Amino acid sequence: MSTSKRVLIVGGSGRTGKLVVDELLARDHEVTALVRKPDSLEARPHLSTVTGTPMSKDDVRKAFAVSKPDVVVVTLSAPRAGDSPFAAVVSPPRLMANANANVVAVMKEFGTPKIVIMQAFGVAESWPNMHWALRMLMKKSNMIYQYDDHNLVASEVRASGVDYVFPRPSRLVEGEAKEIKEWADDGKGVPLMSTCTRGSVAQFMAEAVENRTWDNTAPVITN
């Protein structure tokens, strides 16, 4: 059992974020969640919620002041009007980039060394190794805006000098944690039809909080 850590989660009200909160609590960590809607997470021991948005640096500071985190976890998404790849974009172009820039700036103020950010297979160096059919789908649909935002996060957080882990799951499916296959940052060899359960992502992110094994890497993960 690893030592209990203080963890701030940004995006903890989301579909994967909620599972990450569950996983961290099950592993005896102290969790603070910065959420826009205070009732979006069920109250439990060792979970504090702070109402606010990562788009405001002051709100992020407020969350750090409740409990200075050892590690920050980010499971944000830049939503479209629906889950279809062609659904209209409803987020500003730098939603995730600006939110992570605020978080990293406040990490530096408070001396928090590490951030674990959920990304996606196909971001940054893993793009060339995504199957051409998937790259075509991304480029021709509104999913490319989410990829552009993730790419900005990757380059800006890397340049900031904080320790990072960018877990990059293949296509998400609902489900509990299953055996996880790890691939290199460039995702070479990941099969076209790979999927990853949200439960597996939550487990991997909790392990990345506890261990330094993946620090300063961006592993592609699949089941």
Ligand X SMILES: NC(=O)c1ccc[n+]([C@@H]2O[C@H](COP(=O)([O-])OP(=O)(O)OC[C@H]3O[C@@H](n4cnc5c(N)ncnc54)[C@H](OP(=O)(O)O)[C@@H]3O)[C@@H](O)[C@H]2O)c1
Q: Which one, 71 or 202, has the nearer CB to ligand X?
A: 202
- Amino acid making up residue 148: D
141 φ/ψ angles, rounded to the nearest 5 degrees: -115, 180
Residues 6 or more apart whose Cβ sits within 8 Å of residue 32? 6, 7, 8, 9, 47, 48, 49, 50, 63, 66, 67, 69
Q: Between 177 and 216, how does the x/- string for binding to ligand X read (CB under 6 A)? A: ----------------------------------------
35 φ/ψ angles, rounded to the nearest 5 degrees: -130, 150
101 binds ligand X per the rule CB under 6 A: no
Q: Among 24-32, 51-59, 103-111, 183-191, which window interacts with ligand X (CB under 6 A)?
A: 51-59
Give me the residue label for tokens 């730098």: 94
Q: Which of 24, 41, 112, 169 binds ligand X (CB under 6 A)?
A: 169
100 binds ligand X per the rule CB under 6 A: no
Extract the tokens encoding 39. 């009732």
Q: Would you call 214 helix, strand, or coil by DSSP?
A: coil
Distance from the Cα of residue 140 to its chain's centroid = 24
In the complex, least distance from residue 1 CB atom to ligand X, rounded to whole angstroms: 27
Of residues 140-159, which lie at the interface with ligand X (CB under 6 A)? 146
Q: Which one, 71 or 97, has the nearer CB to ligand X?
A: 97
Q: Between 24 and 43, how does the x/- string for binding to ligand X read (CB under 6 A)? A: ------------xx--x---
CA distances from 113 to 106, 108, 109, 163 (A): 11, 8, 11, 6
222 binds ligand X per the rule CB under 6 A: no
Q: Which one, 14 or 219, has the nearer CB to ligand X?
A: 14
Which positions touch ligand X (CB under 6 A)?
Answer: 11, 13-17, 36-37, 40, 53-55, 75-77, 79, 95, 118, 120, 146, 169, 171-172
